[in-house]
Amino acid sequence: MRKNGAVYRLIAAMVIFGTVGVFARAIPLPTPVTAMLRGAIGAAVLLAFCLLRGRKPDGAAIRSNLLLLVLSGAAMGFNWILLVEAYRYTTVATATLCYYLAPTFVTLLAPLVLREKWTLTGIACALVALGGIALVSGATPDSVGDGRGILLGVGAAALYATVVLMNRRLGEIDAYSSTVVQLASAAAAMVPYLLLTQRAPLPHLTANACAMLAVICVVHTGLAYLLYLGSLGKVSTMQAALFAYLDPVVAVFASALWLGEPITWKTAVGAVLILGAAAAGELLSAKERKKQHDLSR
């Protein structure tokens, strides 16, 4: 029953993550401002939860991993900026699918960064995913805006892959402590960026826009990370990897239902290729890690 609860929390987190694009479209603030507020409020929610549960962040582990945590947090913040900007230039579905190139980038870069071995299956999955992006990006070839949105989505995927690779190099630290520092670092990284780039006064926010901003900061960041982190360790690595693909599926349908964005046959086929290749890659890598673990016992 306890494991079922963890699965439900994981599903809920993925559904919440999948609707972020719909809410982001309704916020007229510059994306760095949204990213800063999202990181700061998300970190505060996580920290408050930990303190209420009597679980203080691990100061020693944070200090020993501080550089990587700060760098990965900054990358997370700029990843949010590119993703939200992608929503502005193309459909939420297309931007989210491009974002899910991240596992492909991890597959291609892990041998260079983590000294893992390239495998034929991993390379094949990466090529299939790239073929899916080619289909998605060709959905509206005459639209310059779509092209810019696709590039921004791919850039966000590259940054998220960087976060994943840096996280794999972290020493012993619990997920709550690392995520609090990363979210706070994402917010802090936005401050100098805003001071250097923001010239125009901030737009007036309607009550609806304020509500949407609050939902993204509290629900899509604080609550979603609580649900996600609370499920890890209670579900298998394979389950966590597979359920993660609920996020883009929800994004595609949410954008169609609430924003009226069309789902073309190219988008649908591209989605199957991207998500299928990424899921297959996750499954194969999980099996390989288990095999190596069993051999080392």
Domain boundaries, the chain: 2-6+16-296
In 3D space, the residue among 74, 60, 85, 65 whose CA is nearest the CA of residue 183 turns out to be 74
Q: Is the pLDDT of residue 155 over 70?
A: yes
The token duo for 149 is 């949105």
Q: Could you tell me the pLDDT band of residue 72, with boundaries at 50, 70 and 90?
A: very high
Query: Would you call 230 helix, strand, or coil by DSSP?
Result: helix
Q: Is the pLDDT of residue 192 over 80?
A: yes
Q: Which of 8-22, 84-98, 161-175, 229-243 has the lowest mean pLDDT?
A: 229-243
In 3D space, the residue among 8, 14, 40 whose CA is nearest the CA of residue 220 turns out to be 14
- Higher-confidence residue of 157 and 116: namely 157
- As a whole number, mean pLDDT of residues 168-191 equals 92
Percent of the chain with pLDDT over 70: 85
Given a contact cutoff of 8 angstroms between Cβ atoms, the answer to whether 54 and 167 are in contact is no
Q: Which of 2-6, 131-135, 150-154 has the lowest mean pLDDT?
A: 2-6
The amino acid at residue 223 is: L
Q: Could you read off the pLDDT of 88-120 as tens digits, one per residue? A: 888 888 888 888 888 778 877 777 776 767 677
Query: Residue 184: what pLDDT?
Result: 96
Cβ-based neighbour number of residue 184 at 10 Å: 20
CB neighbours of 57 closer than 8 A, spacing ≥ 6? 47, 50, 176, 177, 180, 181
Query: Residue 82: what pLDDT?
Result: 95
Report the first-to-last Cα separation within the chain, whole angstroms. Answer: 30
- As a whole number, mean pLDDT of residues 262-270 equals 77
Q: Could you tell me the pLDDT band of residue 138, with boundaries at 50, 70 and 90?
A: low
- Higher-confidence residue of 264 and 184: namely 184
- As a whole number, mean pLDDT of residues 268-295 equals 66
CB neighbours of 55 closer than 8 A, spacing ≥ 6? 176
Query: Residue 282: what pLDDT?
Result: 65
Q: Is the pLDDT of residue 283 over 50?
A: yes
Q: Please, what is the average pLDDT of the chain?
A: 82
d(C-alpha 130, C-alpha 124), whole Å: 10
Q: Could you tell me the pLDDT band of residue 266, with boundaries at 50, 70 and 90?
A: confident
d(C-alpha 252, C-alpha 255), whole Å: 5
Given a contact cutoff of 8 angstroms between Cβ atoms, the answer to whether 278 and 245 are in contact is yes
β-partners of residue 235 are 232
Residue 51 exposed, middle or buried by CB count within 10 Å (0-12, 13-18, 19+): exposed
Q: Which of 63-72, 127-136, 195-204 has the lowest mean pLDDT?
A: 127-136
CA distances to 14, 56, 174 from 50, in Å: 21, 6, 12
- Higher-confidence residue of 270 and 94: namely 94
In 3D space, the residue among 172, 173, 171, 169 whose CA is nearest the CA of residue 181 turns out to be 173
